[in-house]
Amino acid sequence: MAENIVMPQLGESIAEGTIVTWLKQPGDAVKKDEDICVISTDKVEAEIPAPADGTLIAIAVQEGETVDVGTVLGQVGAAGESAAAPAPTPSSVDAAATLPPTPAVQTPVAPSIEPPPAPLAPAPSAPVAGTGTPGRFVSPLVRKIAAENGISDAVLDTLPGTGNGGRVTKKDLKAFIAASSSASAAAVAPAQNAPASIPAPPPAPTPSPRASAPSTPAAPAVASSVPVQRASASMTVPASDRETIQPASTMRKVIMENMVRSRQTSAHVTTFFDVDYTNIDRIRNEYKKQFKNEEGVGLTYTVFLAAAVTQVLKRHPYINAEIRGTDIIFKKDVHLGIAVAIDKPEPGLMVPVIQHADKMNLRGLAHSIADLAERTRIRRIKPDELSGGTFTITNPGNYGAIIGTPIINQPQVAILGVGRIKKEPVVISNDGVDSIAIRNMGVLSLSFDHRLVDGATADIFMGDLKTTLETWSTLP
């Protein structure tokens, strides 16, 4: 009997996923738990395993399609077996129980939505009643699309949804946006013909040539559109065989969107501090072999940095905070993000989060960092482990960079950049006597959101972090 391949629930906040690629094609033999396709959410890409031994007999969702959690993606069965009608998944049963009865022939979502004439948000005095479920779950992807199109949470609550439990899906929201745009365009057309039915106003004074010049019709716009069309057309075809055009992957698109959104959201400012790692280096050299034998993980600079940051953040609440509208949210816990570079199947960056890092000692942090980094690189990280961070550390120094000015990981308000660490001659003063010594030096940068964090606040935090690192005396 054929078994369904189902879009899994990859975390509490994940409601839908996109098929990136099918690793097997109909007729291919598969083994249970063998990767059969790759899916992507707004947080992570993941491989979906085959539910049983057999043959891939059907693909129900094609590459590039986005579907809800619980959707049947395909079927695995015996060779030569015909695909069976997929049994209803638990999520679809729940949805049927919570949604009102629908006609046997379903109509597209867009015609069932009654958008306001203009603009997208309905007037407070005349909300759309009875079409939505206030307070229901809205996925981060849907909420982001709504924000980009100026749709408030109040409007989202009024929209009918076709997802589980009446949830508004990405398709529902895009249909609403398209229908609203059409309605707005239809409202503009009669307005352009209004002068024919409205009595003419009293004649106005004849304007001067200078005043009448700006009222020239849209001819310049037509003229300017011609070269733009030529430029875009010429860019679609490579000039020679020395170029390769490749569509951006889902992960790369998410990175693009997140970076631009962060720049548009936060007022980025960066401050830099020199740090002397000599004491930490002495401790590492003394204990790293013993630590590796006892714990099975390395005693890296990142471990010391993570331990220091979690201590210092507790003393500087404005750095471990978030802005929501006009409210400031101070976080009592430190959920520490560690940026991890990946190179397969393509270069990228993910930020797994150590939950409650402030409750861990140095040894616990070492294990968490090693585990999350390894599972991120082999694409076995869970979506929930990539969210919820309150502060992030990124380390461009691993690749020899003196320092970097990283972009803030929203909705956080600061991110620490770690530069390379190398021996340098440094002037040291002891009892008023200056001398030159060789020290292990590095640079730290803090990119912070100037809407909330002032320069003095950022520098005080960095000064505290610098002192904590430079006065480290022993292995806890």
Note the residue count of the chain. 476
Active site annotation includes 358: no
Active site annotation includes 454: yes
- Contact between residue 73 and residue 5 where contact means Cβ atoms under 8 Å apart: yes
- 417: nearest Cα among 407, 425, 426, 427: 407
Residue 243: both structure tokens together:
């170029």
Residue 17: both structure tokens together:
């996923």
Name the DSSP class of 398: G
Helices (H), 150-249: 153-158, 170-193, 209-212, 219-235
- Please tell me which residue in 157, 450, 459, 464 is annotated as part of the active site: 450
Peptide bond into 345 cis (omega under 30): yes
Query: Alpha-carbon distance 359 to 22, whole Å?
Result: 42
Name the DSSP class of 48: E
- 421: nearest Cα among 279, 298, 295, 252: 279
385's CB contacts (< 8 A; 6+ apart) are 352, 353, 372
Name the DSSP class of 266: S
Tell me how far CA of residue 390 lies from CA of 217, 221, 262, 323, 331, in angstroms: 53, 47, 15, 11, 7
Catalytically active residues, by annotation? 450, 454
